[in-house]
Structure 1
Amino acid sequence: MSLANVIVVGNEKGGAGKSTIAIHLVTGLLHAGARVSLLDLDLRQQSVGHFFAHRRAWLAAAGATAPMPVEHGLGSEGRTLAQAADEEVLARFEESFGKSREGADFLVIDTPGGDTAVSRSAHGRADLIVTPMNDSFVDFDMLGLVDPVTLDLKRPSLYSETVWNSRKTRAAADGQSIDWVVLRNRLAPTEARNRRRLDERVQALSRRVGFRVGPGLRDRVIYRELFPFGLTVADLSPGIRPVAMSLQHVAARQELRALMGALGLPGAEGGEAIAAQ
């Protein structure tokens, strides 16, 4: 039986948009016809798990259909498990990870905003690590440290070291490499004053530690509007339209397609059909 390609959405800084990226990757892959498994390792907040619970409820109430991933939780305890010892959480993860890869094309893992043993274990199993980063030196601080006077890049920071160690773990385990993509996420509609300076440091760090830079999702109202329904712009159709459509929704769909394309994932095609709906 073939095993799923593992996509880990990670960043040790909270509020970078990991869960938003994860749910859009899942729905984008589903609408591309892929079989998708899902693991939500943010045991305390469980935003991705809540999103798909909302999705089931809204679809049932609306009498509509949309593709769903196969969810593999770490147990029914939810937030109680978040207080458990690392050994217990890791054991649950090992069991769920093995099951979730079977019979799927992709396994998407959402990780918590912090350094945990289970998050490190997931990173070491990844084929692709996707790291959203807000357009700010505050977020960049988790990836690289800059000189406070010259703003020159000094060295990689905490999360870059986590990914570096994960790559070594994966290479030692099975000789495979991990692709790493940093997404410039939640860009404001207007050009930020410090964006060029930040771009230069991101590019410099990418050459130093070996990641690709891709487009994320802009800070659009539509992403927030659709979340409580458990829907994304990939789901919108004549039969699924919980909010009024606008040209901004078309732009958001094109943005999602660009994201999927930058990651080399199915779902980057079909722009004309999307725009026509």
Structure 2
Amino acid sequence: MAHIIVFGNEKGGSGKSTTCMHTATALVRSGARVGALDLDLRQRTFSRYMENRQDYATRQGVTLPTPAMTQLPKVDRTELAENENPFDKSLSLAVATLEESCDFIVIDCPGSHTRLSQVAHSLADTLVTPLNDSFVDFDLLAKVEPETGKILGPSVYSEMVWHARQLRAKAGLKPIDWIVLRNRLGAQEMHNKRKMGQALEDLSKRIGFRVAPGFTERVIFRELFPRGMTLLDLKDVGVANLNMSNIAARQEVRELIASLKLPSVEMAV
């Protein structure tokens, strides 16, 4: 069966789709067969990223390693079993189709709580939650006592992940490997970084996730989107002389893939 990687966070602006795109592309470059699903039916950022990639490759006459993006199939409601949810059925059909030919299935969830997102989390072998280095984002994971910083308990998103874990346990599936990425890190505010780092480490022990470094806040990530490019593609389109910032960003991608500890993945980028 394909290994399913879900990128989830109920708050937008965390760099989720960018992280998802770089991960999917890196896996294709490693030689893996990768399928992709975008469950954000409104904004479709991951889908548009992929469309931009295909358009750019066609215009430039180049071949870029690209995941196989699949759309959710339409479901005939008259054929549903009693009490069967059409979103559940559509996602199940899409995953079953991709599993026939893929080693990995990468799923990008919307930045909000939806039925599709909830079901996708229960399918995840690996769950990646990019998180801005801010206590505004941290509030999705845990409730904090404002005066002391003491963690009072899990918040809405953590509770949803807990529910997904319970569903997997009942189905006899292996536990979710949950990774929280400290994404869009800034170069300053060292005091806040230390406080966030300590809070995440404390919470990880309580609710069971791993903490990993994500991507530093860099202009290059925003510039790549209109062309559908990733940092791993620059040499393919003739950009051989990278500046120090771009080299450092590409190394962050390598470190991200290594931190996911995915089965049978050897980076060759």
* Residue range with higher mean Cα deviation, 176-185 or 13-22: 13-22
Task: Measure, in 1, the Cα distance between the counterparts of 2:254 and 2:265.
Answer: 6
Q: State whether residues 186 and 217 of structure 1, in contact with CA within 8 Å, keep that contact through their aligned partners in structure 2.
A: yes
Question: Under a length normalisation based on structure 2, what TM-score does the superposition of the two structures give?
Answer: 0.91
Task: Quote the offset at 1:115 in angstroms.
Answer: 1.1
- In the other structure, the counterpart of 2:252 is 255
Question: Under a length normalisation based on structure 1, what TM-score does the superposition of the two structures give?
Answer: 0.89
Tell me whether 1:182 sits opposite 2:176 in the alignment: no
Task: Measure, in 2, the Cα distance between the counterparts of 1:35 and 1:143.
Answer: 32
Q: State whether residues 31 and 67 of structure 1, in contact with CA within 8 Å, keep that contact through their aligned partners in structure 2.
A: yes
CA RMSD of aligned residues (A): 1.9
Task: Measure, in 1, the Cα distance between the counterparts of 2:240 and 2:191.
Answer: 33
Matches within 5 A, 1:22-33: 22-33=20-31
Task: Quote the offset at 1:241 in angstroms.
Answer: 4.1
Q: State whether residues 18 and 110 of structure 1, in contact with CA within 8 Å, keep that contact through their aligned partners in structure 2.
A: yes
Task: Quote the offset at 1:243 in angstroms.
Answer: 10
Task: Measure, in 2, the Cα distance between the counterparts of 1:149 and 1:240.
Answer: 52
Tell me whether 1:166 sits opposite 2:164 in the alignment: yes
Task: Measure, in 1, the Cα distance between the counterparts of 2:254 and 2:266.
Answer: 4
Matches within 5 A, 1:12-91: 12-75=10-73, 87-91=85-89
Q: Runs ≥4 in structure 1, deviation > 2 angstroms?
A: 86-91, 189-193, 241-245, 265-270
1:26-74 per-position Cα deviation (integer Å, ceiling 9, x unaligned):
1111111111000000000001111111111101110111111111111
Task: Quote the offset at 1:175 in angstroms.
Answer: 3.5
Q: State whether residues 35 and 106 of structure 2, in contact with CA within 8 Å, keep that contact through their aligned partners in structure 1.
A: yes
Q: State whether residues 12 and 142 of structure 1, in contact with CA within 8 Å, keep that contact through their aligned partners in structure 2.
A: yes
Task: Quote the offset at 1:87 in angstroms.
Answer: 3.0
Unaligned ranges ≥5, structure 2 = 76-83
Task: Tell me the matched-pair count.
Answer: 260
Task: Measure, in 2, the Cα distance between the counterparts of 1:8 and 1:145.
Answer: 24
For 2:103, the aligned partner's letter is D
Instruction: Find the partner of 1:224 among 206, 222, 225.
Output: 222
Q: SS state of the match for residue 223, structure 2?
A: helix
Q: State whether residues 26 and 267 of structure 2, in contact with CA within 8 Å, keep that contact through their aligned partners in structure 1.
A: no
Gap change, CA 1:202 and 1:126, over 3 Å in 2: same
1:172-218 per-position Cα deviation (integer Å, ceiling 9, x unaligned):
11232111000000001234431111111111110000100001011
Task: Measure, in 1, the Cα distance between the counterparts of 2:181 and 2:16.
Answer: 10
